[in-house]
Amino acid sequence: MTQRETHAAKARTPSPREFVPSMPSQKQMQELVDAQSELFKCFQHASQIWLDHLQAEADLAAEFSAKLMASRSLPQTATSVQEWTTRQMEIFAQDGKRLAHDGQKFMEMGARLSKRWPSVGNGGSS
């Protein structure tokens, strides 16, 4: 027997079952659906808050444009620009807080979900 024939004889053919992942239980599937629903609601809420925020910024820009166009003197223009700059700085601070809060919320949710259904990332079943 040649060396090639020896390796071929020793190699075993895997059964088709080895290629099929184990099916999650009904409880695991329900937990996955619940987790996805919870995650979707969280993203939907954050999206709505950010859309409202963008609308408020657009309103501020429109208000600033109107004030700027109505200005009749350099001091009025300077006052309008100063008010707008102050308001923009407040908005940037709020954005930072909101972004940190949302990020923390998503991380907490991810940690909760990974504890609830730990087999998602490792391919095993719990």
For 48-82, the pLDDT digits (tens) are 998 998 998 999 999 999 999 999 999 999 999 99
71 token code pair:
């200005």
Domain boundaries along the sequence of the chain: 30-118
pLDDT in tens, 83-93: 999 999 999 99
CA 124 to CA 126: how far, in whole Å? 7
pTM: 0.58
Instruction: Please give the Cα distance from 65 to 58 (Å, whole number).
Output: 11
